[in-house]
Amino acid sequence: MVRFGSSGIRGLANVDVIPELALDVGRAIGALYGDVVVGRDPRLSGRMLSYALQAGVLAVGGGACDAGITSTPTLARGVGGYGCGAVITASHNPGEYNGIKLWNPDGMAFSTEQQEEVERSLDARDWKAARWDETGRHTERADLPGRHREAILRAVGSAEVHVVVDCGCGATANVTPYVLREMGCKVTALNAQMDGHFPGREPEPTEANLAALRTAVPALGADLGIAHDGDGDRMVAVDEKGAFVGGDKLLALFAKQRARRGLVVPVDASMAFDDALDVPVYRTRVGDVYVAQEIKRRGADFGGEPSGTFIFPSETMCPDGPLAAAILVSLVKERPMKQWLAEIPAYPIVRSSIPFEAAARTAVLGSMGPALATLHADEVTTVDGWRLAFSDGWALVRLSGTEPRVRVTAEAREVARAKEIHDRVSEAVRRALP
């Protein structure tokens, strides 16, 4: 049984995510949506899965267009004119993984309802083989990375700063270094050769994985460092001194610049947003697709996640790492990164996780709400787990999706208060466990 998560289908390549699965996903979306444009990141299993998916689309009479290696936002921006789009990628996962993520013509990721429709089609094998002379037409195009770069140039304009870009050997290597140079930057590129072995670093742009970039930026006297994940829907940065600037800080920086009507962030995002901004802050389930849907629903003008995904809806509904990089560069042209970050409050966060017996999951879910109610929070929201808001801090209680653990996050303006909230909430969580 195949199931989509918030990031589409994901698993070990050629073990979980096999050509037969890609073939059937192709048949299902070909039958439901017609013509499909397909991109992939440079993973070694990418071509195998992309070809299988395209074959499935053709087999039910849809047209399949092979867009070659594209970042996720490059492909998502190119779906207009097709029934839907597919990217073969496992995003920030290591090289042995791969996956399939589906996109709408307006650049939005498939909603939960759309993914469930595809799942039902896969379960029921709900498609009809086309007659031999009615199989779909196959095309290729190689212009999507160029179109992506042009769109970014139109949106952002010029900036002459020295920037070091670490593409992690991923799919952004044909977008970000070029577009920043076209903007007028002096660009030094690291790991800009696409290579599915990811020989430069792991695809996830964490502080630990970016040692080379953190060294290179101050050593070269550059103004800024930029890093992406494997498929380019994420962007993080390094300041002129070589300090890591994570997605949480960038989210706050962009929000301050861009959010005028409303800001959308997931439930685990900092309360610094509420303190530093004068716009309504809407919180969603964790996952960029939920952020995008809420931006559309609320008419908000910016949203993103602390993991480093940023959505600028005036440009595209897909989290676009290269666009975020260009916007950050244009900000750094005005003032050094350190000055921008000085305006953003940073509050202490305490995190922990509490294990429970896997078999007790349903019981834990049932008893958690009443146990947390005894804490008398000002507000409890349950869009994703339980978020307890207090006047001077908050806590989030979520069951991990991958292991039998309850994750507790607490934040306050003072360290002692964050710890106190964390400990009280953890105590209540333990009472809810059998």
Q: What is the smallest separation between the CB atom of 321 and Mg ion, expressed in angstroms?
A: 8
> In 10 A of CB 105, how many CB atoms?
16
Instruction: Count how many residues are written for the chain.
Output: 434
Distance, CA of 345 to CA of 363 (rounded, Å): 39
Closer residue to Mg ion, CB minimum distance, 66 or 320: 320
Nearer to Mg ion, 317 or 408 (CB): 317
Between helix 247-258 and helix 321-334 the angle, nearest 10°, is 70
For the record, the structure tokens of 359 come out as: 């078999």
Q: Report the distance separating Cα 425 and Cα 231, nearest Å.
A: 37
CB-CB neighbours of 375 under 10 Å: 16
Determine the Cα–Cα distance for residues 286 and 117; give it in Å rounded to an integer.
Answer: 21
**Total residues at interface with Mg ion (CB under 5 A):** 4
CB 247 → Mg ion: shortest distance, Å?
Answer: 12
How many C-beta atoms lie closer than 10 Å to residue 345's C-beta? 12
- Segment near Mg ion (CB under 5 A), from 33-41, 125-133, 223-231, 345-353? 223-231
| Per CB under 5 A, 229 contacts Mg ion | yes
Name which of 231 and 240 has its Cβ closer to Mg ion: 231
- Tell me, what amino acid is at 159? A
Q: Is 384 in the site for Mg ion (CB under 5 A)?
A: no
Task: Pick out residues in 237-296 that bind Mg ion (CB under 5 A).
Answer: none
Nearer to Mg ion, 229 or 294 (CB): 229
- The window from 175-183, 221-229, 247-255, 393-401 that contacts Mg ion (CB under 5 A) reads 221-229
> Using CB under 5 A, which residues numbered 9 to 38 contact Mg ion?
none
| Contact indicator for 110, 118 with CB cutoff of 8 Å | yes
Residue 329 · residue 163 · CB < 8 Å: yes
- Output 286 or 429, the one with its CB closest to Mg ion: 286
Q: Which is nearer to Mg ion, 75 or 421 (CB)?
A: 75
Strand partners of residue 186? 162
Contacts (CB under 5 A) with Mg ion, residues 70-99 = 91
- Residues in 347-366 that interact with Mg ion by CB under 5 A: none
Torsion-angle region of residue 277: left (phi > 0), alpha (psi -120 to 50) or beta?
Answer: beta
Q: Within 13 A of 160's CA, how many CA atoms are on the CB side? A: 0
Distance, in Å, from the CA atom of 125 to the CA atom of 111, rounded to the nearest integer, reads 21
Q: From CA 314, how far away is CA 340, in angstroms rounded? A: 23
Smallest gap, in angstroms, from Cβ of residue 6 to Mg ion? 12
Segment lying near Mg ion (by CB under 5 A), choices 113-121, 136-144, 231-239, 292-300: 231-239
CB of 309 to Mg ion, least distance (A): 7
Q: Which stretch, 229-237, 276-284, 350-358, 411-419, contacts Mg ion (CB under 5 A)?
A: 229-237
Cα gap 355→226, rounded to integer Å: 36
Minimum CB separation of residue 170 from Mg ion in Å reads: 9
Nearer residue to Mg ion within complex by CB, 233 or 384: 233
- Residues 83, 85, 90, CA angle at the centre, nearest 5°? 160
Nearer to Mg ion, 104 or 121 (CB): 104
Give ∠ CA 241-409-269 in degrees, rounded to 5: 60
* Residue among 7, 71, 91, 426 flagged as catalytic: 91
Choice from 35, 41, 166, 233 touching Mg ion (CB under 5 A): 233
Query: Does residue 166 interact with Mg ion by CB under 5 A?
Result: no
Structure tokens at 249: 């800080």
Site for Mg ion in 396-415 (CB under 5 A): none
Q: Output the smallest distance, CB 424 to Mg ion, in A.
A: 35
d(CA 251, CA 288): 13
Per-residue 3-state assignment (H helix, E strand, C coil) for 162-228: EEEEECCCCHHHHCHHHHHHHCCCEEEEECCCCCCCCCCCCCCCCCHHHHHHHHHHHHCCCCEEEEE
- Residue 98 C-beta: closest distance to Mg ion, Å: 13
Which DSSP letter does residue 145 get? H
Q: Which stretch binds Mg ion (CB under 5 A): 45-53, 197-205, 225-233, 403-411?
A: 225-233
Is 91 among the residues known to form the active site? yes
Q: Which of 24, 35, 223, 231 binds Mg ion (CB under 5 A)?
A: 231
Please identify, using beta-carbon distances, which residue of 33 and 310 lies nearer to Mg ion: 310
CB of 59 to Mg ion, least distance (A): 29
In whole angstroms, how close is the CB of 345 to Mg ion at the nearest point? 28
Catalytic amino acids?
Answer: 91
Binding site for Mg ion (CB under 5 A): 91, 229, 231, 233
